[in-house]
Amino acid sequence: MAHLDTLLARAGTEPDPTTGALAPPIHPATTFARREDGSSPDGFVYSRLDNPTRRKLQEALAEAEGGGACVALASGMAAAMTLLQTLGSGDHVLIPQDIYFGVRQLIAAQFERWGLAFSEVDMSRPDNVRAALRPSTRLVWVESPSNPQLNVTDIAAVAQVAHESGAALVVDNTWCTPLITRPLEFGADVVLHSVTKYLGGHSDVLGGALVFAHGSPLFERTDALVREGGAVLDPFGAWLTLRGMRSLGPRLRQQSETAGLLAAWLEQHPAVEAVHYPGLPSHPGHGIALQQMKLFGGMLSFRLREGEGKALDVVRRTRLFANATSLGGTESLMEHRATVEGAGSPTPRNLLRISVGLENVDDLRSDLAQAL
């Protein structure tokens, strides 16, 4: 297999057989004419079932993650919802304490209603996961580093623990992307992406994806749910995601480098109580991060000594960091997560989360300095 950089740089760009075009076409067609013998060219019948542009993205993403199959969905949350829909009443899902807020909300508000049980555990130690597993646990959900506290989970160890009791492991790899971690290589069964973030990379496409390990029985159930339920990614969304993927390598390398410099600078700032970034030697998960991350990523969070008031003040004062939700774009963002997550948020109130963009590091540092 070619290096990942090469796969990414060429994602979806094999020359079009009729025109030689190197950028892939966007296929908005919803339906496809059958041949005289009734067969469908390349199997395309109707766009909800399969679409040429979406198929290109799915193939590129499956290859980038080292998986056997991929389904592209309308959003990261559509990916989470569809995976949960493969489970049934009485099944149990184990989630980390610090999980993307939307996923906890979805499970608690919607899936408890149809009889899905869930519990939360601190996944920084695999023994905790072992102790929290139940005979009915079908799925263990990992986010590493987690959102927004950047806890690191040992994917290989948790995969082993989950498999010992017959549960499948899904890793939300939105923050890392395959450039940093390929969870299937550490034993995960499914990788989840919000392609809205780093893969799309320009804050202009909403999409999600699930990539399955070779031979995973979860693929067929999920694929059927997507085809029948229709939560698919649209062709333009698939095309934008492919375009974003082609520049993922240089973007995320620069974002990781800048994030590392900002994290180190923030850590010695007198107004800052703590910095959460897996690249810092002071981070409790730094050792595991070294084993399973090729870079430490473009996301970090930090806590203010003077508390919530100061945090809100800093968000208001920054000029380059937009006060906006989401992450993984070319522009730097800063957000007070406890406000956004609302009632029941477990996020510390003095915490700010940063998504590092592609701006010059000195400009970003000066902006933080004046805001602090």
Ligand X SMILES: *Cc1c(COP(=O)(O)O)cnc(C)c1O
To ligand X, the closest distance from the beta carbon of 104 in angstroms equals 11
Of the listed pieces 168-176, 214-222, 309-317, 354-362, which binds ligand X according to CB under 6 A? 168-176
- Does 105 help bind ligand X (rule: CB under 6 A)? no
Query: At 372, which helix (H) or strand (E)?
Result: none
Catalytic residue check, 48: yes
Select 172 or 223, whichever has its Cβ closest to ligand X. Answer: 172
Asked if 266 touches ligand X (CB under 6 A), the answer is: no
User: Residue 367, interface with ligand X (CB under 6 A)?
Assistant: no
Q: Which of 25, 102, 187, 346 binds ligand X (CB under 6 A)?
A: 102
**Shortest gap between Cβ of 57 and ligand X (angstroms)?**
14
**Three-state SS at 67:** coil
How many Å apart are CA 342 and CA 90, to the nearest integer?
29
Nearer to ligand X, 56 or 197 (CB): 197
302: three-class secondary structure by DSSP: strand
Nearest to 130 by CA among 96, 164, 155: 164
329 binds ligand X (CB under 6 A): no
- Pick from 144, 151, 174, 177: which binds ligand X (CB under 6 A)? 174
Q: Is 198 a catalytic residue?
A: no
Among 258, 270, 300, 260, which residue's Cα sits nearest to residue 369? 270
Q: How many CA atoms does the CB half-sphere of 151 hold within 13 Å?
A: 17
Spell 1-23 as b/e; 16+ CB within 10 A means b. eeebeebbbebbbeeeeeeeeee
* 44, 100, 141, 277: residue in contact with ligand X (rule CB under 6 A): 100
147 near ligand X (CB under 6 A):
yes
Total residue count of the chain as it appears in this document: 372
**Cβ atoms within 10 Å, residue 348:** 20
Shortest-Cβ-distance residue relative to ligand X: 76
Catalytic residue among 104, 138, 197, 251: 197
- Contacts for 129-132: CB closer than 8 Å, 24+ residues apart: 129/94, 129/158, 129/161, 129/162, 130/161, 130/164, 132/94
Active-site residue, from 48, 130, 310, 349? 48
100 noted as active-site residue? yes
Q: In the complex, what is the shortest distance from the CB of residue 224 to ligand X, in angstroms, rounded to a whole number?
A: 21
Order of strands, sheet of 92-96, starting from the edge strand that comes earlier in the sequence: 69-73, 208-212, 190-194, 168-172, 137-143, 92-96, 117-121
The conformation of residue 107, written as its DSSP 8-state character, comes to I
294 included as an active-site residue: no
Query: Contact between 76 and ligand X (CB under 6 A)?
Result: yes
Integer Rg of the chain from CA: 21
Sign of CA dihedral 312, 318, 322, 327: negative
Q: How far is the CB of 193 from ligand X (least distance, A)?
A: 8
Residues 180-239 that bind ligand X (CB under 6 A): 194, 196-197, 206, 208
Q: Which is nearer to ligand X, 175 or 302 (by Cβ)?
A: 175
153 touches ligand X by CB under 6 A: no
The reply to whether 149 sits near ligand X by the rule CB under 6 A is: no
Question: Which residues form the catalytic set?
Answer: 48, 100, 172, 197
The residues binding ligand X (CB under 6 A) are: 75-77, 100, 102, 143, 147, 172, 174-175, 194, 196-197, 206, 208
